[in-house]
Amino acid sequence: MYFLRLVVKNALRHKLRTTLTIVGIVVAISAFGLLRTVIDAWYAGANASSSARLVTRNAVSLVFSLPLTYAQRIRQMPGVTAVSWANWFGGVYVSERNFFPQFAIDAPTYLEIYPEFLLSAEERKAFLTDRQGAIVGRKLALQYGWKTGDQIPLRGTIFPGTWTFNLRGIYDGATKTTAESQMFFHWAYLNESVKKRLPRRGDQIGVLIEQLKDPDQAAAVSQAIDSTFRNSLAETLTETENAFQLGFVSMSEAILLAIQAVSFVVIVIIMAVMANTMAMTARERGSEYATLKALGFGGGFVALLIFGESLLIAAIGGVAGIALTFPLANAFREALGTFFPIFYVSDETVGLQLGAALVVGVVAAIFPAWRASRLPVVEGLRAIA
Amino acid sequence: MRVPFIYIIRNLVARRLTTALTAGGMALVVYVFATVLMLSAGLKATLIATGQDDNVLVIRRGSQTEVQSGIDRMQAGVVESLPDILVGQDGLPLVSKEPVVLINLPKRGSGKPSNVVIRGVTPRGLTLRPQVHIIEGRMFRPGTAEVVAGASIATGFRGAALGETLRFASRDWTVVGVFDAARTGFASEIWGDAEQMMQAFRRVGFSALIFKLTESDRFDAVKQTIESDPRLTLEAKRETRFYADQSEALSTFINYLGTTISVIFSIGAIIGAMITMYASVASRTAEIGTLRALGFSRGSILTAFLGESLLLGLLGGVIGLTGAAFMQALSISTTNFQTFAEIAFRFVLTPGIVAAALLFALAMGFVGGFLPAARAARLKIVDALRAA
């Protein structure tokens, strides 16, 4: 018990220095947590995907579409229980800054395949019966202050012109990994207008989504789909929803790697600061440690004292840093709006933060502890700080 | 009377470990700060160099990128007959009508797919871009399934090096040449014959029109003509402006992220400097008293300690910048959010970045050293002398 008291008393000796060090650790640990959360947010789409869904797109790239007839062909294939489709709309709401994903969907089948978008029965009915209707996620509705019944104008970038939709419902996500910042409207409405203006681009869909009877059949079914359309005008590429989403993530891999590297750099920086603190502390107390040794305490005890102090400071800073991460992440989410549809601090991040704080505490103490434990008594007693 | 400079330096040397740790922390912050600025400068340099000031790029109104745009042959014909277009040596206007699409290609190392721009060009399109020249192999022959790849694509993607074949749009395309585009965005593209591409991708319209003006300052008039013509639903931009706009989102993102990270990191480094300087003041209380007794004023004590801290910052800044300068050897390839296509760019160190990074380092030293220096200056001579 007296050992712990000694450690605490030691840590409190230089109040200013200890406070500054703790503040440094708090900043570093919360920054580390925030950066990890940003990386997690990138992968959120892939993590939220279901293994029982496949996505089929044009093999050349997403810029090319597929003919609508493919949906009927795929629906008859064994192992497929339902088929839906969606087009990326890429509209601009008021100005380019307000980015959020919009999809033209085949609503009845789409909502069935994606049960995680929760709509009340009335809203669902209102959406399905209004050809110009649209639904948006709760978060998106909050951000722009939309209410059911509002009209939302979008300026098309891929489909020219201004498009107006009637907001018929606001959906909630079934879990916190469900993206609540998307907008959906009827593909039939888009197709009808496109056919009138650009007949060549009618009856074309961006991606097909298939629901599988058994997730284990994913590989076999995707192969069957792709071989059906091989050597046709629009060859397909079918992958699991997870792989499809990861494809997007890997495109920004260079940036993600940089953020990841930087999140470790901040830990190294704070390690340098903390090691500096411990080195100074140990140097100043050279004569004290020598006295302890002269009284009969071993070198191990002195080393333990230093480790204890370092770990105590790191732990206080670490816990405070973790506590600060949550309000910070909230503020970050508010500021970024819908840029990251899903943004929350995962348990894994908290674990990593705790681990990082402990590593900082241990590493910072290694050198001073080693030096203090080996310091000859005579030399230590003679030392002045 | 000023405290000699050598005294300041020797104080730092006397505490080697502490000096190294503090300066090391600052160096890492400066390194991150400088690399982020270099990245964003590199991206801008790449995309701005891609355009030529007297070239005009025409795309469908509201489409933002070439890939999303579509221009039919009738509209192209109208634009082609504008009077302000420079006439080439063959007596025809210098207009290139180009289909631009994205294809999915696997990267050489990881095999992960990314989007690459495929551009159909005409002989006139090559005249319009004098910065592009073949470094390996030869140019594609019009009317064949031959393509040439930009240097970044040839090294970065499977099947895109000289002599290899790529398969897209139900055809095999042979890479017969690799072109260098003097660090422009074109280095991240694959070029083939425009008419061949149109047929392979079953396009009836072009994606973009590029033409050269007779005189650069006729741009506003041409823009006016194109955008007010009711037959055309097109918009015209200077090529330089167009590519600069395309880098905006990515470069803003990099800047925001980098600045936020640098500011957060600098708090850590400033605290490190503060701890070091406070310790330096505390362990030298008697020394400070002696200096004051010798006749050095409070002002010169303050300056001496601030000088020590600024020197620490400068040391960190120089080390960090040196590390960042080595990053110039690397290039980075990622997807531009706006065009959804791969773009390769380098880290570029400009004199502005050097100045900004050093100022940043000095600022960290100043903020970290000010309070401890003030404490040293406020010490009373008698108390300080007694402290020993």
Please check the confidence at residue B194 and state whether its pLDDT lies above 80. Answer: yes
Please check the confidence at residue A258 and state whether its pLDDT lies above 90. Answer: no
Q: What is the mean pLDDT of chain B?
A: 89
- What whole-number distance in Å separates Cα of residue A164 and Cα of residue A154? 6
Q: Which residues does chain A have within 8 Å of residue B14's beta carbon, measured at their own beta carbons? A: none
Residue B59 bridge partners (DSSP): B235
Do the Cβ atoms of B333 and A254 come within 8 Å?
Answer: yes
Q: What is the mean pLDDT of chain A?
A: 89
Do the Cβ atoms of A280 and B268 come within 8 Å?
Answer: no
The band of A337, judged by pLDDT with boundaries at 50, 70 and 90, is low
Please check the confidence at residue B164 and state whether its pLDDT lies above 70. Answer: yes
3-state secondary structure of B379: coil
- What whole-number distance in Å separates Cα of residue B363 and Cα of residue B33? 13
Sheet strands (E) in chain A: 53-58, 66-67, 80-88, 91-92, 102-105, 117-118, 133-137, 151-156, 162-173, 183-186, 204-205, 207-212, 236-240
pLDDT digits (tens, 9 = 90+) for A135-152: 999 989 998 999 999 999
The band of B388, judged by pLDDT with boundaries at 50, 70 and 90, is low
Q: Which residues does chain A have within 8 Å of residue B103's beta carbon, measured at their own beta carbons? A: 60-61
Closest partner CB to A20 (pick from B21, B22, B274):
B274
pLDDT of residue B30: 92
| Token pair recorded at residue B255 | 């800047």
CA dist A10 → A4, A206, A284 (Å): 10, 66, 12
The band of A385, judged by pLDDT with boundaries at 50, 70 and 90, is very low
Q: How far is the alpha carbon of B92 from chain A, nearest alpha carbon, in Å?
A: 31
Please check the confidence at residue A308 and state whether its pLDDT lies above 80. Answer: yes
Chain A residue closest to B166 (CA)? A60
Please check the confidence at residue A384 and state whether its pLDDT lies above 80. Answer: no
Average pLDDT over residues B61-83: 88
Average pLDDT over residues A260-286: 88
Q: Which residues does chain B have within 8 Å of residue A231's beta carbon, measured at their own beta carbons? A: 170
Handedness of CA B42, B43, B45, B50 (dihedral sign): positive
Residue of B273, B272, B267, B344 lying closest to B108 (CA atoms): B344
pLDDT digits (tens, 9 = 90+) for A187-234: 999 999 989 887 878 899 999 999 999 989 899 999 999 999 988 888
Q: Which residues does chain B have within 8 Å of residue A284's beta carbon, measured at their own beta carbons? A: 279, 283
Please check the confidence at residue B324 and state whether its pLDDT lies above 90. Answer: yes
CB neighbours of B179 closer than 8 A, spacing ≥ 6? B132, B133, B134, B135, B148, B149, B150, B151, B186, B187, B191
Interface test with A, best of B29, B35, B203, B261 (most A CBs within 10 A): B261
Chain B residue closest to A15 (CA)? B275
Contact present, B201 and B169 (Cβ < 8 Å) = yes
Q: What is the residue whose two structure tokens read 């020993």?
A: B388
Q: What is the residue whose two structure tokens read 């399934």?
A: B145
pLDDT of residue B12: 87
Average pLDDT over residues A336-351: 82
Chain A residue closest to B33 (CA)? A262
B255, containing H or E segment: helix B239-283
CA dist B267 → A26, A47, B26, B114, B274 (Å): 10, 34, 10, 38, 10
Q: Cα A175–A181–A182 angle (5° rounding)?
A: 105
Contact present, A356 and A267 (Cβ < 8 Å) = yes
- What whole-number distance in Å separates Cα of residue A77 and Cα of residue A367? 67
Q: How far is the alpha carbon of A27 from chain B, nearest alpha carbon, in Å?
A: 7
The band of A90, judged by pLDDT with boundaries at 50, 70 and 90, is confident
Average pLDDT over residues B71-83: 90
pLDDT digits (tens, 9 = 90+) for B266-302: 888 898 888 888 888 888 888 889 989 998 999 999 9
CB neighbours of A188 closer than 8 A, spacing ≥ 6? A106, A131
pLDDT of residue A317: 95
CA R_g for chain B: 30
Average pLDDT over residues A267-291: 88
Please check the confidence at residue A335 and state whether its pLDDT lies above 80. Answer: no
Please check the confidence at residue A271 and state whether its pLDDT lies above 50. Answer: yes
Contact present, B181 and B150 (Cβ < 8 Å) = yes
Do the Cβ atoms of A158 and B68 come within 8 Å?
Answer: yes
pLDDT of residue A22: 94
Q: Cα B144–B149–B152 angle (5° rounding)?
A: 175
Closest partner CB to B32 (pick from A92, A251, A262):
A262
pLDDT digits (tens, 9 = 90+) for B222-236: 999 999 988 888 999
Query: Is the interface score ipTM higher than 0.85?
Result: no
